[in-house]
Amino acid sequence: MKRAPFRDCNKPGVPGLFCGNNRTVSKNWKGLWAALLALWLAATMVAAAAVATPAPLAPTTSTESLALEGSSLVWVDANANRSIDDIARAGDSLPWERLQDGQKYHAADEALWIRFDATLPAGTQWRLVMMHPAVDLIRLYHQGPDGRWVTQQAGEDITQSEWPLPGRVPILALAPGTGEPVRYWVRIERNRLDFSVSLRLYAQASLLQLRDGEQLVMGGYFGVVILLLAGALIAALLFRDRALIAFALYVAGAGAWQFVNLGLAAQHLWSDPNWTYLARSIAPGLAAAGALWFIKVVTEPARFSRVLDFICGALIAALLAAIATNGFVGTRESNMLVLMLIGVEIPLAVVLLALLWRKSVDVYQRVFVAGFLPLLVAATGPVARGLSLIPSSALNRYGLIVGTAIQLPVLYYALTRRAARRRETGVRASELAHTDALTGLWDRATLLARMDDAVKRAVSQRHQCALLGVRLTNIGAIEAEMGRDVADRAMIVAASILRGVATDIDVSARTAHADFAVLLDGPTSAQAALSRAQQIVARGLQHTPVLPQSTELRFHVAVLVLPDHELDATRCAKWVDDALSAMRADPKRAIRSLNF
């Protein structure tokens, strides 16, 4: 075998490491690797020591709350078989890590252990609060003065009567403050979903303030939900509108989901943990299926595509099947299936609403689309968190509440206005015997009947009412210059102006082709009647988008204060008509008072 050539150490360009024979080179390399290994071990020991010894939590008497993230250690017991004695005995030999904000843990068939030290001011009482209720079981351990373990537990696997402090979320008491450090261990179980730990220490007074604020906000929120649900049911019966029925079911489903998700159902409705488990299994999917059916009813996807309509129906059926499976089986996989189907629903809803926005000319349908946007944005957070795509945060835990609180009133307004508009045609058809077909105002006979009643009340109660006779003087010129269609629109605008200046108890009527009248029914005065007349004249001169740019509505108004001696309604109306006919075409003298 040919030997490697000898390298002369004195030769320029040859490093000292490679000087001498091969045995010398091997010894040099071994020394280098040993030094690197020693440095790595030292760095590892320093890092482990740093992880194992976080600074104790040391609140002052003015501190309201402290987060455990960054000041506590966490370790996952993969077999969930370690007792508190095992954990305490193992001490720093376990691979503890710093608890990080938003870090997610896969806790199926596992137990999550958290360790922290706290030095509480003497005479103070602090609580450990899990900031969200969705945890199967949480236990808090510390050693009492006699060395025995003091144990507390809460969570959805046990009844609220077994909690140290029943409430919406688990709350556990720390040892009374003595000014000395106390070590605590927390054991958490949650089997169906990954979750992020959100633990905080609260002073007793701060916790009471927090609970009072929560009760105020949630009481107001669910009060609005119940009010809108009742309003939607009443409106659905009144208007016989299928969209309002779908909205009522959607509000009920969304409200029930939030009631369960926030822990209020377990706190107020039942004590059996099995009901909480079942409610958490089916409530999200039912709310999502109800929301998609509601959107389907309003958008009517069959108008755009039969395939899109079939996809909506199939997804609703798949959601209902997944909900039933999750309710009976209750595995991690069935729960993830429900979440994935909800994740598919969000882009489908966006497509349906975008088509409705694009194809619709109804302003209320566009208001409906705008009302759904906050919820769709807010819903992406919980779904992504449940699928372990993003860490947990207060925004994606409570974003749905904010989105729903914004959305529901907007949707209720849009749907009721749309239903009222659809019903308006039928209402107007049923009232044609007493109203004008073009403007929808009352006719002359109805006005005279109401005027007789108003005069009788004014005489008996010793107050005044008034009659405004209104004539649209330039309607002939508008029709001659711009056509019958523009003239009809001008008449409708004139009727809208009269409705705008009248109150609910006043009567607006069309008495002739270009003549109108407003009966101010109720206690009024001459000055108030003149003010209404001025409003009519001024609004007629303002531009309205439905008429050509240069079009003005020029009104003459005659004002008659009632009662006037023994004049009845017919003679009062004739007096006003004669006064309007006698008025000159002078825009500066557009108002005439008759008896004051």
pLDDT tens sequence across 322-351 = 999 988 887 888 888 998 998 898 889 889
CB 52 within 8 A of CB 73: yes
pLDDT at 30 over 80: no
* Distances 11 to 6, 18, 19 between C-alpha atoms, Å: 11, 11, 9
CA distance 566 to 248: 56
pLDDT at 365: 84
pLDDT at 451: 92
Q: Which two tokens mark 302? A: 């069959």
Range of weakest confidence among 115-124, 141-150, 236-245: 236-245
CA distance 494 to 213: 51
Any idea where the domains of the chain sit in the sequence? Answer: 16-50, 65-207, 241-428, 444-593
Output DSSP code: residue 349.
Answer: H
Range of weakest confidence among 22-36, 412-426, 444-458, 496-510: 22-36
pLDDT at 425 over 70: no
- DSSP E strand stretches across 144-204: 149-154, 171-173, 181-189, 195-196, 199-203
CB 61 within 8 A of CB 31: no
Residue 3 or residue 207, greater confidence: 207
Q: Got the DSSP string for 47-82?
A: HHHHHH-PPPB---TT--EEE-TTSSEEEEETTS--
pLDDT at 25: 42
Per residue in 281-313, pLDDT (tens digit) is: 899 899 999 999 999 999 989 888 889 999 999
Per residue in 352-367, pLDDT (tens digit) is: 999 888 887 778 888 8
Residue 565 or residue 544, greater confidence: 544
* Residue type present at position 522: G
- In terms of Cβ atoms closer than 10 Å to its own Cβ (0-12, 13-18, 19+), residue 235 is buried
Q: Give, for 560, the enclosing helix (H) or strand (E).
A: strand 555-562
Q: Give, for 135, the enclosing helix (H) or strand (E).
A: none
Confidence of residue 437 (pLDDT cuts 50, 70, 90): confident
Query: Hey, CA dihedral for 401, 402, 405, 406, is it positive or negative?
Result: negative
Confidence of residue 11 (pLDDT cuts 50, 70, 90): very low
pLDDT at 544: 87
Query: Hey, CA dihedral for 459, 461, 463, 469, is it positive or negative?
Result: negative
Residues contacting residue 593 through CB under 8 Å, at least 6 positions apart: 526, 530, 558, 559
For the residues 448-467, what does the mean pLDDT come to? 90
pLDDT at 9: 44
pLDDT at 383: 66
pLDDT at 1 over 50: no
pLDDT at 44: 47
- The percent of residues in the chain predicted with pLDDT above 70, rounded, is 85
pLDDT at 584 over 80: no
| Global pTM value | 0.69
Output DSSP code: residue 120.
Answer: P
**Which residues in 547-559 are b (16+ Cβ under 10 Å) and which e?**
beeebebbbbbbb
Any idea which architecture 65-207 has in CATH? Sandwich (2.60)
pLDDT at 429: 64
CA distance 498 to 509: 9
Residues contacting residue 555 through CB under 8 Å, at least 6 positions apart: 470, 471, 472, 473, 494, 536, 537, 540, 590
pLDDT at 239: 85
Residue 527 or residue 70, greater confidence: 527
Alpha helix (H) residue ranges in 431-516: 444-461, 475-482, 484-501
Residue 535 or residue 304, greater confidence: 535
CA distance 430 to 450: 20
pLDDT at 94: 93
pLDDT at 23 over 50: no
For the residues 90-104, what does the mean pLDDT come to? 86
Question: How high is the mean pLDDT of the chain?
Answer: 84
- The percent of residues in the chain predicted with pLDDT above 90, rounded, is 44
Helix/strand/coil for 105: strand
How is domain 444-593 classified at the CATH fold level? Alpha-Beta Plaits (3.30.70)
**503 C-beta neighbours (distance < 10 Å), count:** 10
For the residues 112-129, what does the mean pLDDT come to? 94
Confidence of residue 436 (pLDDT cuts 50, 70, 90): confident
CB 19 within 8 A of CB 9: yes
Identify which of 561, 441, 414 has the alpha carbon closest to the alpha carbon of residue 495.
441
Range of weakest confidence among 34-48, 157-171, 565-579: 34-48
pLDDT at 360: 76
* Distances 327 to 135, 287, 332, 392, 421 between C-alpha atoms, Å: 18, 14, 12, 25, 42
Confidence of residue 107 (pLDDT cuts 50, 70, 90): low
Of 112-121, 191-200, 455-464, which has the strongest mean pLDDT? 112-121
